[in-house]
Copies of this chain bind each other. A is one copy, B any other.
Amino acid sequence: MSYARRLTADAGASAGLLEVRRHNLALILARLRSDGPRSRAALAAETGLTRSTVSSLVGELVARGLVAEGATARGAVGRPSQQVDLDGSGFHTVGAEVNLHYLAVTALNLRSEVVAERWVPIDAARLGADVVLRRLAGLVLDVTGALGRAGSELVGTTVAVPGLVERATGRVLSAPNLGWSETPAAATMRGLLGDAGPLLLDNEANLAARAEVGTDRRGVRDLVLLTGGVGVGAGVVVGGTLLRGVHGFAGEVGHMQLDPGGRRCGCGRRGCWETLVGLDALLVAAADEDDPVRDPALDVRSRLLTLRARAEAGDARTLDALGVTAGWLGAGAGVLVNLFNPELLVLGGYFAVLGPWLATPVADTLHERVFAPRSGGCRVEPSTLGYPAASRGGALEAQARVFADPTAVGSSHSVVHPTVVPAGAPA
């Protein structure tokens, strides 16, 4: 064997061992994320790695700033042992959402704790993509600047939009309610944010569904999330995985035609689902044109709280409008529940704010419309995450890279380079 060939073979072997080590670093992080702080001994027992391998891995994760050593816990038997846990202080990820009536930015640390949140009402359709993205970037820089000064590094951003997204190119192919078409939103945001780690673009309903299963609905593996805004979006989780389809376009529900004789939709047809349950339909039914709840210059959240207060006070027009919305919401949801047989239908966006007047009638409509007994076991619940669900989901999605490959973050000079030995392989 020639010297060159031996060199290549050795490099290959090292690459393999580094790969194993990366995998094991990720294994430790995943365990700390799902099960909380624990001792090295517990990690060794749970992962099947040796004690010394776990110590070496934890050492690297501490050096990279991903893991912190915490309190010493005294178990029932044996020596007291030091707990290790995810370190929340060194890194954060950002989700940044464009919607018709607002911009929202959420920053999470790696413990998935919200470390910053911003909300700005806007009238996005009037402002156009360039102005909207400049304002969004300003919000992100505001948040990450403050976190940076506090010693936390931005390691990934996901931008959420209510429209059809081509994730591979970072373009919004079509967001009719925003008036965006073929908009290179990811490239624009990268230009505005400068060197701010990887930036991805995604659909807001998909990210809101991601947030639901990632935070509030752990354990639920089959879920349909509906986001109510001017349009209607669906994020569908099947067997624990977000449904994306072959080219990432799955979950388009807004133009499901439920009332062919109904109101004209922006898409050119009549009676699409969003003409029936979109926010505009509700507001037109619930209030006169000069009513403040219909003033797009006011914050949509305060307008919804006004509407909510009217419903609580028993205002007949408001309750009638909510009843009509609930009926159509149930009719469309019935199609989805018949198709997916989910465990849970989550009402997000404005549907969540008005959940008390929507969830029960929607569940009743499902009982009538779903072919399987007892709606196939599907429960209906308002989201408890509220409006920031999509930006929260965006920040969670941006964490994925770090949890898949912990060596992607942490400056290498701070790492005490471990010797790469077969001890890194599973025991």
Q: How far is the CB of A163 from chain B (nearest CB, A)?
A: 9
A252 and B371 contacting across the interface, CB-CB below 8 Å = yes
CA distance A427 to B173 in the complex (A): 49
Of A38-46, A372-380, A386-394, A404-412, the stretch lying at the interface with chain B is: A372-380
Q: Is A212 an interface residue (CB 8 A)?
A: no
Q: Name the B residues within 8 Å of A338 (CB-CB).
A: 252-253, 255-256
Q: How far is the CB of A258 from chain B (nearest CB, A)?
A: 7
| Number of identical monomers bound together in the oligomeric complex | 2
**Interface residue count on the A side (C-beta < 8 Å):** 47
Q: Is A356 an interface residue (CB 8 A)?
A: no
Residue of B with least CB distance to A182: B373
Interface string of A164-182 (1 = CB under 8 A from B): 1000000001100000000
Name 15 interchain pairs, CB-CB below 8 A, sorted by A: A222-B246, A236-B339, A244-B341, A245-B341, A247-B377, A249-B371, A250-B341, A252-B338, A253-B338, A253-B339, A255-B371, A258-B260, A260-B260, A267-B371, A339-B339
Q: Is A335 an interface residue (CB 8 A)?
A: yes
Interface string of A328-356 (1 = CB under 8 A from B): 00010001101111110000000000000
When A and B form their complex, which 7 residue pairs have the shortest distance between CB atoms, in order from nearest? A245-B341, A249-B372, A252-B338, A249-B341, A250-B341, A246-B343, A249-B376
Q: How far is the CB of A222 from chain B (nearest CB, A)?
A: 4
CA distance A331 to B41 in the complex (A): 59
A257 and B341 contacting across the interface, CB-CB below 8 Å = no
Given A246-B376, A372-B247, A377-B246, A339-B173 contact (CB < 8 Å): no
Q: Name the B residues within 8 Å of A244 (CB-CB).
A: 341
Q: Is A239 an interface residue (CB 8 A)?
A: yes
B256 and A335 contacting across the interface, CB-CB below 8 Å = yes
Given A164-B372, A371-B174, A222-B239 contact (CB < 8 Å): no
Q: Is A248 an interface residue (CB 8 A)?
A: yes
Q: Name the B residues within 8 Å of A248 (CB-CB).
A: 341
Q: Name the B residues within 8 Å of A257 (CB-CB).
A: 258, 331
Residue of B with least CB distance to A375: B249
Contact of A339 among B221, B234, B378 (CB under 8 A): B234
Q: Is A238 an interface residue (CB 8 A)?
A: yes
Interface string of A208-247 (1 = CB under 8 A from B): 0000000000000110000000000010101101011111
CA distance A245 to B342 in the complex (A): 6
Q: Name the B residues within 8 Å of A377 (CB-CB).
A: 246-247
A221 and B246 contacting across the interface, CB-CB below 8 Å = yes
Q: Is A259 an interface residue (CB 8 A)?
A: yes
Q: Is A261 an interface residue (CB 8 A)?
A: yes
Q: Name the B residues within 8 Å of A234 (CB-CB).
A: 339
Q: Is A278 an interface residue (CB 8 A)?
A: no
CA distance A252 to B375 in the complex (A): 12
CA distance A221 to B221 in the complex (A): 20
Q: How far is the CB of A257 from chain B (nearest CB, A)?
A: 7
B371 and A340 contacting across the interface, CB-CB below 8 Å = no
CA distance A132 to B395 in the complex (A): 56
Q: Name the B residues within 8 Å of A261 (CB-CB).
A: 260-261
A252 and B331 contacting across the interface, CB-CB below 8 Å = no
Q: How far is the CB of A142 from chain B (nearest CB, A)?
A: 34
CA distance A336 to B252 in the complex (A): 9
Interface hub of A164, A222, A251, A335 (most chain B Cβ within 10 A): A335
Given A234-B339, A260-B259, A261-B261, A173-B373 contact (CB < 8 Å): yes
Residue of B with least CB distance to A238: B238
Q: How far is the CB of A69 from chain B (nearest CB, A)?
A: 35
Interface string of A252-279 (1 = CB under 8 A from B): 1111111111000001000000000000
Interface hub of A241, A244, A246, A258 (most chain B Cβ within 10 A): A246
Residue of B with least CB distance to A344: B246
